[in-house]
Structure 1
Amino acid sequence: MSFSHIFTIVVPVFVIILVGYGTGRLRLFDASGTQALRDLTMQLALPASLLLGIWKTPRHTLVEKLPLAGLLALGFLVVYAVLFVVLRHAARRPLKRAALLALACVQPQYAFMGTSVLGGLFGAEQAAVPIAVAGILVNVVLDPAVLVVLGLPDRTASRAGARTAAATAAPRPALVGAGGGTAVSVAPVDPAPAVPGPHRPSALRTVLHQLREPFVWGPLLGLVLSVAGVGVPSIAGTSLTLLSGASSSAALLYVGLSVSRVGRPRLYPRVWVVSLISVVVLPLLLYYVGKALTSSESAAQAALILAFPVSPVPLMFASKYGDKSDEETIGSAVVVSLVLSFLTLPLMIDLVG
Structure 2
Amino acid sequence: MTYVIIHALAPIFVIMLLGFWAGKAKMVDNNNVSLLNVFVMDFALPATLFSATAQTPWSGIIARSPLIVVLIGAMWITYAAVYFLAIRIFKKSPQDAAVLTLTVALPNYAALGLPVLNSVLGESPSTSLSVAVSIACGSVLLTPFCLLILEREKALAAGENSNSMLSMLPLLIARSVKKPIVWGPLLGVILSAAHIKTPDILLASIKPLGLAATAAALFLTGMILSARKLQLNTVVNLSTVVTLLVQPFIAWCIVLLLGLHDSVAITAILMMALSGGFFGVVFGNRFGVQSPDAEAVLLLSSSLSILTLPLFITLTSGS
Please give the range of the TM-score, normalised by the shorter of the 2 chains. Answer: 0.7 to 0.9
Of the three residues 229, 232, 238, the one matched with 1:267 is 232
Of the three residues 294, 313, 319, the one matched with 2:280 is 313
Question: Which amino acid is the alignment partner of residue 138 of structure 1?
Answer: L
Distance 2:104 2:150 in 1: 15
For residue 347 of structure 1, report the CA deviation from its aligned partner.
Answer: 4.6
Q: Aligned runs of 1:111-130 on 2, under 5 Å?
A: 113-120=108-115, 121=117, 126-130=130-134
Aligned: 1:344 with 2:308: yes
Q: Cα gap change, 1:260/1:288 in structure 2, threshold over 3 Å: closer, same or farther?
A: farther
Of the three residues 103, 106, 115, the one matched with 1:107 is 103
Correspondence for 2:255: 290
Residue 106 of structure 1 contacts residue 306 of structure 1 at CA under 8 Å; is this kept in 2? no
Correspondence for 1:174: none
Distance 1:30 1:262 in 2: 13
Aligned: 1:49 with 2:48: yes
Correspondence for 1:170: none
For residue 126 of structure 1, report the CA deviation from its aligned partner.
Answer: 4.2
Distance 1:13 1:210 in 2: 28
Distance 2:99 2:202 in 1: 37
Distance 1:109 1:38 in 2: 22
Distance 2:154 2:35 in 1: 27
Distance 1:294 1:241 in 2: 39
Q: Aligned runs of 1:33-48 on 2, under 5 Å?
A: 34-48=33-47
Of the three residues 224, 232, 237, the one matched with 2:190 is 224
Q: Aligned runs of 1:156-305 on 2, under 5 Å?
A: 199-200=161-162, 202-263=168-229, 265-293=230-258, 295-296=260-261, 297-303=263-269, 304-305=271-272
Q: Cα gap change, 1:298/1:150 in structure 2, threshold over 3 Å: closer, same or farther?
A: farther
Q: Cα gap change, 1:36/1:105 in structure 2, threshold over 3 Å: closer, same or farther?
A: same
For residue 351 of structure 1, report the CA deviation from its aligned partner.
Answer: 5.1
Distance 2:147 2:260 in 1: 28
What TM-score results when the alignment is normalised by the length of structure 2? 0.76
Deviates more, 1:22-31 or 1:296-305: 296-305
SS in 1 for 2:33: helix
Question: Which amino acid is the alignment partner of residue 103 of structure 2?
Answer: Q
Distance 2:170 2:199 in 1: 35
Residue 79 of structure 2 contacts residue 105 of structure 2 at CA under 8 Å; is this kept in 1? no
Q: Which runs of 5+ in 2 are unaligned?
A: 119-126
Question: Which amino acid is the alignment partner of residue 48 of structure 1?
Answer: A
Residue 108 of structure 1 contacts residue 311 of structure 1 at CA under 8 Å; is this kept in 2? no
Higher radius of gyration, 1 or 2: 1
Residue 255 of structure 2 contacts residue 265 of structure 2 at CA under 8 Å; is this kept in 1? yes
For residue 344 of structure 1, report the CA deviation from its aligned partner.
Answer: 3.3
Q: Cα gap change, 1:108/1:33 in structure 2, threshold over 3 Å: closer, same or farther?
A: same
Deviates more, 1:299-308 or 1:131-140: 299-308
The share of aligned pairs that are identical, in percent, is: 24
For residue 145 of structure 1, report the CA deviation from its aligned partner.
Answer: 4.9
Q: Cα gap change, 1:216/1:300 in structure 2, threshold over 3 Å: closer, same or farther?
A: farther
Distance 1:105 1:197 in 2: 26
Aligned: 1:7 with 2:6: yes
How many aligned residue pairs are there?
A: 302
Question: Which amino acid is the alignment partner of residue 54 of structure 2?
Answer: W
Q: Cα gap change, 1:12/1:32 in structure 2, threshold over 3 Å: closer, same or farther?
A: same
Correspondence for 1:135: 139
Residues 19-68 of structure 1: per-residue CA shift (max 9 Å, x gap):
22222221222147633223222211222222222222222101123333
Q: Cα gap change, 1:127/1:330 in structure 2, threshold over 3 Å: closer, same or farther?
A: closer
Question: Which amino acid is the alignment partner of residue 339 of structure 1?
Answer: S
Question: Which amino acid is the alignment partner of residue 113 of structure 2?
Answer: L
Question: Which amino acid is the alignment partner of residue 233 of structure 2?
Answer: Y
Residues 124-163 of structure 1: per-residue CA shift (max 9 Å, x gap):
55422211211112232354257658989xxxxxxxxxxx
Q: Which runs of 5+ in 1 are unaligned?
A: 153-195
